[in-house]
Structures are given as C-alpha cells and as structure tokens.
A and B are shown apart, each in its own frame.
Chain A
C-alpha cells in the first residue's frame, strides 16, 4: 500500500502481492480446490440430486456456514450500504452484488430474490457485511412486543393515501 493516495484516484492504490505472498499449494480456499467426489454409492438418484443441488450448492458460497454470525436479520430487515467502497479482502462476488443491491435501502427478502439465493444464505452474506461495517440494518417496525396502535394507525393512513 503506497503511503499517499495517488492524484486523481479516490481509493488508495493496492499493489499486487509480492513473491511469497501468494498462497502455497493446499492453502487455497476450499472452493478453489478440486472437489472431493464421494464414492458412487453415495450419489443421489436424479430426482434427489435435483432437489439437493438446489439446497447444498448455495452454502458453498458461505464456505459451508449455515448460521449467520449475528442472528438479527429477518425477511423485512432493511439493509443499506454505508459507503461506496466496492472492493476489499474476504469479499466474494455475491457480497459485492449484495452491496450493490442495498445501495438504496432494501429488505433482506428483496436482496435474496435478486441474488437468487435462499434467505438463509443471504443472511450469512449480509452478516459478513455488517461485521465489516459495510451495511447498516434497520429492524422491522413491529418488534416482538406485539401490536402497536400508533404503528397500525400509520399503516391505515398510508393505505388511505394510495
């Protein structure tokens, strides 16, 4: 990393890795290594495979994690990107796409739909981004405390304006 931002560039210039900084053989992330094929007895029947591939494959995006680091996201939690920084260490293509999708405030369900990923996978990606401070999250208006008369009246007034 150079000490001063170069003229005309918003983001600091990031040099290529030097000799020795590349990962050694075997140190590549699991997703970049050759897949370990199971013995043929463990292969699924076609109809099972069709179902399972839709289930299993998305979780390879999360590195096999099935739980988010913070369990605060719901379907209608609104997430908003905080900064325009689009690159960074540890971010995958799906993270960047999620960041693009929440440039304007969007619900978790919307981001999942546009990413074409299950909600559970999207929540894991979003909690990664939240941990890095790249997004903010707004909780649903109705918490677990039950119905709120002021909120319901506001919804009623909003529907009347449609």
Chain B
C-alpha cells in the first residue's frame, strides 16, 4: 500500500446488525472506548424494483447513516464496531461496509423477531459469518432458545447467544462468542 506506515495500528471491524430499536447503538455505546460516532454515506441505486409506467430509468440516491465505536485491543490493532442502519434497505448495497468484516452479530428482540430477518439475509448473501444475539429487554427472555431458533429458521451451525446490550461485560462476552466461533470455523476448514 502506498505511503504505508508501520507505526500506525491496523484495524479490523465487526458489524452489528438487526432491525430498528433492537439495541445496536446501545451495544456499541456499552463497549466502545469513545462515544459512538455517526457517519454517513451516499448510495446510488438504479430503481429497478420501482414500478415505473413511464419506462424511464431512474436512479435513486439516498443517504445512509451508521453509528460506530472503537476498541483498542493492542497498540497495533484496533477493532471498530459498526452498527448498520436498521430501518433502511439501501445499506445492503454499501460494499465498503461489508468488505473485510471479520463477522457480524445479528441482534434480535424476541418480542419482534421479524425486524431482524433482513439482517440475517444480508450476512448469508454476503457470506459473512455471524452469530445471533438475543437482547434481554426486561432482564429475561420471553422465549426459549429453541423457540427463537425456530422462529428465525436458524441452522444448527449458527450460534444463538442471550445478552444484555446495556451491560459492558455481557457485550464483551457476545463479541468473544463471535470471535470464538470465527476461530473455530477457520480451523475447521483448512
């Protein structure tokens, strides 16, 4: 890489995804060493799925914002956590976001499981390994792990983890569960 500097740390990233209001930003805020920052990108998509009777090719441009945080793991390695925007469909086209991600965490609120379906689709289509983390909103889970698995149609190889997004240690353990899963996955397929 041009102008590369050996003193500067290099970075890795993990995506935190899920529907609107499932606790993505709460997780980032709990564990980040900085106050969560917000950045935005301009995405352009041809409106192929738009019903247009005029037959005019129309381009849709939209702004997508995401919140992210930082964890310095070692002086030479920094982990960034990106919370993907939940309610918009356009971030699926944000290549830079998916490229080079170690893995993903799909957050689900067991009372509204459907809002996280699209996040699971995204990781599966992009081939990004992920785990599912169920956020305990009232300090307890209303459903059993088996019920959540069935509702999300999760395969046996996808881990389901219960946690509390407001608790730093719980968030750290969720990240460790993901990275353990990633290490195991890579060592299993040489």
Where the two chains meet, the residues of A that have a C-beta atom closer than 8 Å to any C-beta of B are 51, 54-55, 70, 72, 74-78, 80, 82, 105, 107, 109-110, 112-114, 118-120, 130, 133, 135-144, 147-149, 151-162
Contacts and interface: CB of A to CB of B under 8 A. Distances in A.
B96 A118 contact: no
Contacts of B41: 118-120
B71 A110 contact: no
B182 A109 contact: no
Residue from B13, B97, B176 with most neighbouring chain A CB atoms (10 Å): B13
Interface stretch (B32-40, B45-53, B138-146): B32-40
B99 A78 contact: no
Contacts of B4: 136-139
**Secondary structure class of chain A's binding surface, majority of residues:** mixed
A55 B61 contact: yes
Contacts of A138: 1, 4-5, 8-11
Nearest to B12: A141
Interface residues of B, number: 48
A152 B3 contact: no
A137 B8 CA distance: 9
A159 B12 contact: no
Given A120-B41, A161-B73, 10 more contacts: A74-B99, A75-B96, A112-B40, A113-B38, A118-B63, A139-B1, A139-B4, A149-B187, A152-B102, A155-B77
B13 A75 contact: yes
A144 B99 contact: yes
Contacts of A151: 12, 102
Contact of A142 (B96, B102, B187): B102
A80 B7 CA distance: 10
Nearest to B13: A76
B3 A155 contact: no
A72 B79 contact: no
11 contacts: A51-B62, A55-B42, A76-B80, A77-B11, A82-B5, A120-B41, A136-B3, A142-B100, A151-B102, A158-B77, A159-B71
B187 to A, nearest CB: 6
Interface string B148-189: 000000000000000000000000100110011011011100
A107 B74 contact: no
Given A55-B61, A137-B2, A156 B183 contact: yes
